[in-house]
Amino acid sequence: MNPFLSPYDTAYGVPPFDIIKTHHFKTGVKLGLEEQKMEISAITGNTELPDFNNTILALEQSGQTLKRTTSVMYNLSYSNTSPELQVIMQKLGPTLSAHSDSIIMNPKLFSKIKYLWDNRYQLKIKGEKRRLLETYYKNFVRNGANLTTADKKRVSLINQRLTVLSLQFSKNILDIINDFRLIITDPKDLSGLPEEIIATAAETALTAGLKNTWVFTLQNASVIPFLQYADSRVHRHSIWSAYVNKGNNGDTFDNNEIVKEMVRLRAEKARLLGYNSHAHYVLENQMAKTPDQVMQLLNNLWSPALEMAKSEAEALQTMIHKDGHDFKLEAWDWRYYAERLRKEKYDLDENDIKPYFSLQNALKGVFNVAEKLYSIQFVKKTSLPVYHRDVEVYKVQQSDRKIIGILYLDFFPRDSKQGGAWMTSFVEQYKIRNKRIVPVISIVCNFTKPLGDIPSLLTFDEVNTLFHEFGHALHGLLSNVSFSSLAGTNVPTDFVELPSQIMENWSSEPEILKNYAFHYITGKVLPDHLIQKMESSSKYGQGFATVEYLAASILDMSFHTMADGVIDDVKQFENDVLQKIGLLPQIISRYRSTYFSHIFAGGYSSGYYSYIWSEVLDADAYSVFKTKGLFDQQTAHSFCQNILKKGGSADPMKLYVKFRGKKPDTEAMLEKRGLVLQKVD
End-to-end C-alpha distance for the chain, whole angstroms: 58
CA 455/CA 450 separation, integer angstroms: 4
Query: Cα–Cα distance between 281 and 563 in angstroms, integer?
Result: 11
Would you call 289 exposed, middle or buried from its count of C-beta atoms within 10 A (0-12, 13-18, 19+)?
middle
d(CA 637, CA 584): 45
Q: What Rg, from alpha-carbon coordinates, does the chain have? A: 25
Q: Are strands 440-444 and 403-410 parallel, antiparallel or unpaired?
A: parallel
Residues with Cβ within 8 Å of 539's Cβ and at least 6 positions away in sequence, in order, are 673, 674
Write out 395-408 in H/E/C secondary structure. Answer: EEEECCCCEEEEEE
* DSSP H/E element including 269: helix 256-272
- Shortest CA distance to 222 belongs to which of 176, 169, 181, 171? 181
Query: Choosing from 196, 350, 469, 548, which is the catalytic residue?
Result: 469
The rounded distance, in Å, linking the Cα atoms of 438 and 45 is: 33
* DSSP symbol at 524: P
Nearest C-alpha neighbor of 73 from the set 135, 145, 161, 3: 3
* Cβ atoms of 530 and 578 closer than 8 Å: no
284 is catalytic: no
Positive or negative, the CA dihedral 324, 329, 330, 332 is positive
Could you give the residue numbers annotated as active site? 469
